[in-house]
Structure 1
Amino acid sequence: MHTVMPVYGTRPEAIKMAPVVRALQQSPLFRPTVVLTGQHRDILDQVNTTFGVSADADLGIMTPRQTLHDITVRTMTGLQPLLDRHVPDAVLVQGDTTSAMAAALAAFERKIPVVHIEAGLRSGDLFDPFPEEANRRIIGQIASLNLAPTAHAKRNLLASGVPEARIAVTGNTVIDALHLMLDRAPAFGDPALTRALAGDAPLVLVTAHRRENHGEPMRRIGTAVRVLAARFPDHVFVLPAHPNPAVREHLLAALGTAPNILVTAPVAFPEMVHLMDRATLILTDSGGVQEEAPALGSPVLVLRETTERPEAVLAGTSRLVGTHVETIVDEAAVLLTDPVRHAAMAHAASPFGDGHAAARTVAALGALLGGAERLPDFEAADADSLSVSR
């Protein structure tokens, strides 16, 4: 039996790691030792509880207004004794956070194989998004196994010099997580949210948190939502506010107090899935939402200048609009008033997964360490086979 160590600490990582951890726990080949870094403390615990995942260790790296340097040092320092104690056969990291990069480096320094889940995403600009683009490039170069979610991501890895033998195309594990959550009836913990969704009013979901949007871009996003809420008073604009003070102090101040804008605390992942499923339109700078929403048939306007997930743009399910007020308002207004344009985005195929990414991940890991063979690579199919709703 192989000892493997999944390491993660943010909510998106937890959501995408959960199907993998569950699959590892169910496999006779593996004994997972789950390590949390702990950036998103409360909502991280919420996600793990939702998926029935228990941690074996928690580094607790979070400090107020910590820097990227702090995250790197605290993650590597905290992992050292755990790697020495457990001597895992592989360390699994997900995505492009600084803690994922630091965990990968800590393992690499001990010549422990690194497995990179959701590998190969590229924006083409080393500083946008920052620091994520650099983080994922670093991990990709040192990983013994790169698990690309799509064929496009595999091509990025090949172009960066990663040997094909170190790449498997699995699909994105977030689609596995969506399948698990849509089987549950929606239950919203916030009474105001329950009341807002009780009627038939169209819902516009807004999420914003990216580091590159802190400051003036975040203020512009808030202003655009305020303008849209005034222009579409029969729509409900729901904004689960990220806990980061750098987000709240600019975004919330610009929103105003319109009666059809509902600001909530961060919602649990099952609630978020059902909000996305209910949404007429989604405005977001989140990478995860760009992947999740197309599988639910929900059009997405991406509040960023670049995206490392061009598959959704090419498939017609999302559109890059940046953070300028006029552009956001104009693009959103078109989708809220033109049924033909809206339907074209809502019914496009999702290119990100089929719900079996975790199985492909575990099989590829087994092939790396011994005891299993890889499954065939994921290939994007048509809209009917990839959609998990509507």
Structure 2
Amino acid sequence: MSGARSRPRILVTFGTRPEAIKMFPVVNALARTGRFDVRVAVTAQHREMLDQVLAIAGIEPDIDLDLMEPGQSLDDLAARILTRFGEALDAQKPDRVLVHGDTLTTMMATLACYFRRIPVGHVEAGLRSGDIYAPWPEEVNRKVTGAIADLHFAPTEAAAAALRAENVAPAAIHVTGNTVIDALFAARAKLAADRSLAPQLAQLRTRFAGRRIVAVTAHRRENFGAGMERIAAALVRLAAREDVAVIYPVHPNPNVTGVMRPALSGICNIALIEPLDYLGFVAMMEASDLVLTDSGGVQEEAPSLGKPVLVMRETTERPEGVAAGTARLVGTDTGRIVAETTRLLDDPAAYEAMAKAHNPYGDGTAAVRIAGIVAAAHPGSRDLAADAVAVTVAASR
């Protein structure tokens, strides 16, 4: 499709804050090569939280579809992504599109590409829980994307094996590590150079000095309703301990705030705070003793910081952390959340076993590997593949 272009045009798209965190290293790695015409398109599923990451990463989107609407349904959002992103493809005429993970943006952008025979590379491919309703709707979003993409950037060998089990051609699968580790290392370097970049966390560390800090994130759709209520009850019980403090950046979704703020406001050692920018979020994880989450990405990030993770879900599409011992599934049962958290707080051996377990998610060079693989797939930039091999070899030593 590129005609007389001197460089292949690569369109990188994402819509949510977690996608932006995991894709900005890829955008930067592609741009640093000088061999691609790199464009960025955002759907803005998460408007304010997405903008925070873009500002930190220094990325200004070439296309901003700005599709966020209050109370939007999944089918309405899906339809608008499909049509609006399709229009962007017609205008940009990319040689390849890169998508990430498992959001509605990922699946619908991939479908729009398929309708135009534009090849798709899938970053963070192959994660599977085995249950199409958990995580919901992300499991199916990821599977549909995997059925269409021609380049699959699997973060781990287990993810690659899942793709092979679904008859994806082995030559199309590339184990790269997870780009979230690239982003995490970049954020840690910024924080190390200037701690004033996370002022709210500095204040909370002073406020909660001498307490064990439990960092919390909870916002997944499958936990809305009774699941959120049980999580809130568990946090109330944990906060009854004088040696514990809870820091919880509350997701703005009314299904979260409508439960958490009435249940937890006014408890002196629970800090319900506004969503943090990415540097603040990394600072929160660094300051914590352990993490309670129903998030996907946090299961990868926290172990890189040596923080045990208790996953408030019944299943996970990231079983490598559970197998390695860095994460444990605890569901949303109030008693189990309290019991497992208490065990880690009171049993140093149990804590150390999780904190020092091997992190299976990568070495911080995933984006460079991905850039090399994309280069090898497009004429005129094949020499970059050799550069990526050199980085991979150096990183393994």
- Mapped to 1, the partners of 2:175 and 2:315 lie a distance apart of 23
> Which of residues 223, 228, 232 in structure 2 aligns to 1:222?
232
- Mapped to 2, the partners of 1:167 and 1:322 lie a distance apart of 32
- Mapped to 2, the partners of 1:262 and 1:15 lie a distance apart of 24
- Mapped to 1, the partners of 2:199 and 2:227 lie a distance apart of 28
The CA deviation at 1:258 is 1.4
The equivalent residue for 2:74 is 68
Supply the AA of the counterpart residue of 1:202: R
Greater CA deviation, 114-123 or 362-371? 362-371
The CA deviation at 1:246 is 1.2
Q: Note the aligned Cα RMSD (angstroms).
A: 1.9
The equivalent residue for 2:273 is 264
1:197 partnered with 2:205: yes
The CA deviation at 1:206 is 0.4
The equivalent residue for 2:331 is 322
The equivalent residue for 1:59 is 65
CA separation of 1:65/1:47 partners in 2, compared to 1, >3 Å: closer, same or farther? same
1:105 partnered with 2:111: yes
Structure 1: gaps spanning 5 or more residues: 380-384
> Which of residues 26, 32, 37 in structure 2 aligns to 1:31?
37
TM-score normalised per structure 1: 0.94
The equivalent residue for 1:382 is none
Alpha carbons 1:335, 1:341 under 8 Å: kept: yes
1:172 partnered with 2:178: yes
TM-score normalised per structure 2: 0.92
The equivalent residue for 2:340 is 331
Give the secondary structure class of the aligned counterpart of 2:190.
coil
- Mapped to 1, the partners of 2:172 and 2:23 lie a distance apart of 20
The equivalent residue for 2:4 is none
The equivalent residue for 1:44 is 50
Percent identity over the alignment?
Answer: 47
Supply the AA of the counterpart residue of 1:228: L
> Which of residues 145, 160, 163 in structure 1 aligns to 2:169?
163
The CA deviation at 1:54 is 1.1
Give the secondary structure class of the aligned counterpart of 1:369.
coil
The CA deviation at 1:234 is 2.1
1:209 partnered with 2:219: yes
CA separation of 1:268/1:317 partners in 2, compared to 1, >3 Å: closer, same or farther? same
The CA deviation at 1:196 is 2.2
- Mapped to 1, the partners of 2:377 and 2:215 lie a distance apart of 41
- Mapped to 2, the partners of 1:299 and 1:70 lie a distance apart of 38
- Mapped to 1, the partners of 2:279 and 2:243 lie a distance apart of 26
- Mapped to 1, the partners of 2:82 and 2:361 lie a distance apart of 31
> Which of residues 158, 178, 184 in structure 1 aligns to 2:190?
184
- Mapped to 1, the partners of 2:36 and 2:91 lie a distance apart of 17
Structure 2: gaps spanning 5 or more residues: 1-6
- Mapped to 2, the partners of 1:161 and 1:377 lie a distance apart of 30
State the 4+ residue runs in structure 1 displaced beyond 6 angstroms: none
